[in-house]
A and B are shown apart, each in its own frame.
Chain A
Amino acid sequence: MIILVDDNADHRLALRMALELAGYRVREAAHGGEALRLQRERSAAFLITDIFMPEADGFETIAAFRREFPATRIIAVSGGGQRAKHDYLEAATLMGVDATLHKPFEIESLLGTLRLLRERAEP
């Protein structure tokens, strides 16, 4: 089970279909608050979250998940360019996310990352 957080509905939709085609069950959230609500309803093993979102900032979402659900693996996704002054993904890494991806990313690399995290969780 994966919770997918992104403010871009199309990205959410396309990503969800790609993940479902790969055999994952996916629940969508438009912002961090919704993701947290979904997670409290039913705990997911993975959180894929955009860092640059309205409402709750991605960092707040990550912090809330780390606090409440330390077992959930987090993949942070950012559209911020690497040349931007603050690299959000670097900050996210410092916050202890399990993996980071730059938009746009190949679906294969996302799937590969998920596989890796799963293998690490169940040796």
Chain B
Amino acid sequence: MRLRSHLIVLVAAAVLPLLLFAAVIVLQDVGERREIMDRGMHDTVRALSLAVDGEVKTSLAVLQTLAESPYLDRGDLAHFHEICVRTMRARPAAYVVLFDTSGKALVNSSQPYGVSLPNPLTGTRPAGADPRYPEVPLGGGDPVKNVLESGAPVVSDLFISLVTRGPRIGLDVPVVRAGELRYVLEMSIDATEFTHALQAQRPPADSVLALVDRRGIVIARTRDAPARVGKPVAPELARQISASDLGSGAGHSAQGTPVYRAHARSPLSGWTTSLALKESAALAPLSDTLALLAGGAAIAIVLGLAAALLIGRRISAPISALAAAARKLALGEQAELEVHAVRELEELHRALVAAGASARQVDEVQAASRAKDEFLAMLSHELRNPLAALTAAAHVLKIADPASDEAAKAAAVVERQTRHMSRLISDLLDISRIAHGKFALDRERFDLAEAVTRLVNLWRAWGRFERHSVALHTAAVWIDADRARIDQISANLFDNALKFTPPGKTVHVSVEAGPGIALLRVADEGVGLAPEARQRIFELFVQEGPAAEGGLGIGLALVKRLAEIHGGSAAVESAGPGKGALFTVQLPSVPAPAGAQIPDTAQRGAGRTVLIVEDNDDARHMLTAALVLDGHQVHAAPDGESGLALAERAPPDVALIDIRLPGMDGYEVARRLRAAYQRRRIALIAVTGFGQTEDRRRAFDAGFDAHLVKPVNAERLKRVMAELQ
């Protein structure tokens, strides 16, 4: 079920009991109103009844007055007629008749005096005589007879007048003289007079007022009087009337319309006044209330539903948005969420954002774990590669002649690869020590320019810069640092530069002094860096650039950490991919010690200019490295001709010459050097693969001062050079 449906049910649950309650109240109200209306109708019919009684009483009073007339004492009927005519002039619908005790009409105020008048006692016919009024007697004999019998005033029921042939009623009083009943005086009143009297009461619209005689015949009626007067009332009303003197009740009109009736019987006349109200009119105020209630309920329900829909949308739209956001989070995307008006939704929102954040954290942890996995794979590769080379070299050393070229090359491979591995391992250990805060610096004061220059020379000697050219610019700047760590920084920067610089391009290395700082810069002409990679590149295990470049991703991280524990920093700049990179390491500088230049110069002076002529690359690099490390200026050549050319440009103090050379052999090179530098002291050292006495002798014959057997031991070379100084 949708949220909207839930809200609609909620609204219904709130509104329906209210409606029920209202309905109960309305029903109660309806009862009360009915009672009030009942009472009002009773009052009305009673008042009408009293009004009719008043008329009757007034008329009876008039009759009593006439009955006392002295003309009747004297039997002067002509004068009596005159008085009667005068009296009744104001009431054209009524006249006065005087009967004698035999029922003979003597005087009628509506007729001229003396005309013959009908005798109601003899002339009256029972009901049905007049076909227009089948239930009403023709002739008013009854009241006259009643007065004659009772000697008391009588109020008649409706009859048809023998004189006018219209429905009338009669009020009859006895005329008594000297205790004897002499005449009966009657006031005959046209029924229409009562109709007019009822109409004068201004009955409410949709109502009918009626006056009914004792037999249930209608005397007067405010509506349809000509048709209904003289006819019996509806049976329903007749029953009600006969049941009580004063009452009310619901029923139906002759036409079948639902009506509400009240009636009251006059004790004086015995006539009943009746008020019938159309139920719709009677209950109009009630139906108004009901209509109001129904309308109110309808409006309440409509408003409630509208509110439910509106609120539902206000709640469900953000929920849908949150659901969409949650789906995005599930996909690992960042989800933007709006602020919501509903507090619970706001809380849900916050919870989702938190969930998203922790999901991202999980992602980061997974990324870190992935980086570690990749690092382990790379580490495996980086360790296996030198091991493979070592295994192959060991095999060669086992198989080949120890004096052969192959053996020497294999030995060089072993040396290079073990050095590479040990650097790799010490880098790893250092990173681990730094990470665990167990890193001690063995500080001393030295010239950064001197240290960098020495390392560049060493790398040149090892042949690491073979495929690139290196431009070195240095200015002396002293630092208080761990020499081995500074070398590590330089080596890692060189490594990085070589790895990303195509062969033939230049690596620029410079050392400068700034205010209170020493700057080591290494610029390459390599693949460069995207701007977003510049921060990342110093992170552990991060590799930028073509994936196939390999490496562990620890070199630059180590550079940065080492610089930082020296109180310095490391940074990289790049104009973008393909435009090279410039790495700068900044270290705090210290003042140069007094006379610092002197030991520097002295040290350099202590070094000698050495020429190496050796066709085996590895052997040549190894010898160069060993001699550079001892502070000598070294020039190396792969064959005799270029060796002699070098000697011309930089006259050597010592020359190390391989005997077995392509083209010109070592003996020849020695002879020529001796010839060229007759007046200069030059020490010549032969390097051969053959340690036989015969070889030794040949060397000395050629002018060599010393003889070394391959592979050359660095300590032995040092000793021999010291001896020859």
**Is the pair A17, B396 in contact by a Cβ cutoff of 8 Å?**
yes
**Is the pair A57, B392 in contact by a Cβ cutoff of 8 Å?**
no
**Is the pair B396, A84 in contact by a Cβ cutoff of 8 Å?**
no
**Is the pair A105, B381 in contact by a Cβ cutoff of 8 Å?**
no
Chain B residues whose C-beta falls within 8 Å of the C-beta of A102 in the assembled complex: 384
Q: How long is the Cα–Cα vector from A52 to B385 in the complex, in angstroms?
A: 10
Q: Which of B388, B409, B410, B550 contacts A104 (CB 8 A)?
A: B388
**Is the pair A54, B550 in contact by a Cβ cutoff of 8 Å?**
yes
For residue A64, give the distance in angstroms from its CB to the closest CB of chain B. Answer: 16
Contact with A along B383-408 (1 / 0, CB 8 A): 01111111111011001100000100
Chain A residues whose C-beta falls within 8 Å of the C-beta of B381 in the assembled complex: 52, 79-81, 103
Q: Which of B387, B393, B396, B546 contacts A103 (CB 8 A)?
A: B387
**Is the pair B380, A81 in contact by a Cβ cutoff of 8 Å?**
yes
- Looking at chain B's contact residues, the main secondary structure is helix
A79 in contact with B388 given A10-B417, A53-B548 (CB within 8 Å): yes
For residue B442, give the distance in angstroms from its CB to the closest CB of chain A. Answer: 31
Task: Flag whether A107 is at the interface (Cβ < 8 A).
Answer: yes
A residues 82-115 touching B (CB-CB < 8 Å): 83-85, 102-108
B residues 364-380 touching A (CB-CB < 8 Å): 373, 376-377, 380
Query: Which 3 residue pairs across A and B have the least CB separation, nearest first?
Result: A81-B380, A14-B392, A104-B387
Which single residue of chain B is at the shortest CB-CB distance from A54?
B548
Task: Flag whether A13 is at the interface (Cβ < 8 A).
Answer: yes
For residue B199, give the distance in angstroms from its CB to the closest CB of chain A. Answer: 112
Chain B residues whose C-beta falls within 8 Å of the C-beta of A105 in the assembled complex: 388, 391
CB-defined A-B contacts under 8 Å, sample of 26 = A8-B388, A10-B417, A11-B386, A11-B389, A14-B390, A14-B396, A14-B409, A17-B392, A17-B400, A18-B396, A21-B396, A52-B381, A52-B548, A52-B550, A53-B548, A54-B546, A54-B550, A79-B380, A80-B380, A83-B376, A84-B373, A84-B380, A85-B373, A102-B384, A104-B388, A107-B392
Task: Flag whether B416 is at the interface (Cβ < 8 A).
Answer: yes
Contact with B along A22-61 (1 / 0, CB 8 A): 0000000000000000000000000000001111010000
Q: How long is the Cα–Cα vector from A15 to B386 in the complex, in angstroms?
A: 12
Chain A residues whose C-beta falls within 8 Å of the C-beta of B390 in the assembled complex: 14, 104
For residue B527, give the distance in angstroms from its CB to the closest CB of chain A. Answer: 12
Q: How long is the Cα–Cα vector from A55 to B549 in the complex, in angstroms?
A: 9
Chain B residues whose C-beta falls within 8 Å of the C-beta of A18 in the assembled complex: 392, 395-396, 399
A17 in contact with B385 given A54-B549, A84-B377 (CB within 8 Å): no
**Is the pair B388, A17 in contact by a Cβ cutoff of 8 Å?**
no
For residue A77, give the distance in angstroms from its CB to the closest CB of chain B. Answer: 8
Chain B residues whose C-beta falls within 8 Å of the C-beta of A83 in the assembled complex: 376-377, 380
For residue B577, give the distance in angstroms from its CB to the closest CB of chain A. Answer: 17
For residue B696, give the distance in angstroms from its CB to the closest CB of chain A. Answer: 29
For residue B261, give the distance in angstroms from its CB to the closest CB of chain A. Answer: 102
Task: Flag whether B413 is at the interface (Cβ < 8 A).
Answer: yes
Chain B residues whose C-beta falls within 8 Å of the C-beta of A81 in the assembled complex: 376-377, 380-381, 384
* Interface hub of B382, B390, B391 (most chain A Cβ within 10 A): B391
**Is the pair B384, A14 in contact by a Cβ cutoff of 8 Å?**
no
For residue A28, give the distance in angstroms from its CB to the closest CB of chain B. Answer: 13
Q: How long is the Cα–Cα vector from A55 to B406 in the complex, in angstroms?
A: 29
Chain B residues whose C-beta falls within 8 Å of the C-beta of A106 in the assembled complex: 391, 395
Chain B residues whose C-beta falls within 8 Å of the C-beta of A13 in the assembled complex: 389, 409, 413
A21 in contact with B376 given A54-B548, A103-B388 (CB within 8 Å): no
Which single residue of chain A is at the shortest CB-CB distance from B373?
A85
Q: How long is the Cα–Cα vector from A83 to B388 in the complex, in angstroms?
A: 18
Q: How long is the Cα–Cα vector from A17 to B390 in the complex, in angstroms?
A: 12
Q: How long is the Cα–Cα vector from A53 to B376 in the complex, in angstroms?
A: 18
**Is the pair B384, A103 in contact by a Cβ cutoff of 8 Å?**
yes
Q: How long is the Cα–Cα vector from A18 to B399 in the complex, in angstroms?
A: 8
Chain A residues whose C-beta falls within 8 Å of the C-beta of B376 in the assembled complex: 81, 83-84
Chain A residues whose C-beta falls within 8 Å of the C-beta of B413 in the assembled complex: 10, 13-14
Chain B residues whose C-beta falls within 8 Å of the C-beta of A85 in the assembled complex: 373, 377
Chain B residues whose C-beta falls within 8 Å of the C-beta of A79 in the assembled complex: 380-382, 384-385, 388
Q: Which of B373, B380, B391, B400 contacts A107 (CB 8 A)?
A: B391
Q: How long is the Cα–Cα vector from A91 to B659 in the complex, in angstroms?
A: 50
B residues 592-637 touching A (CB-CB < 8 Å): none
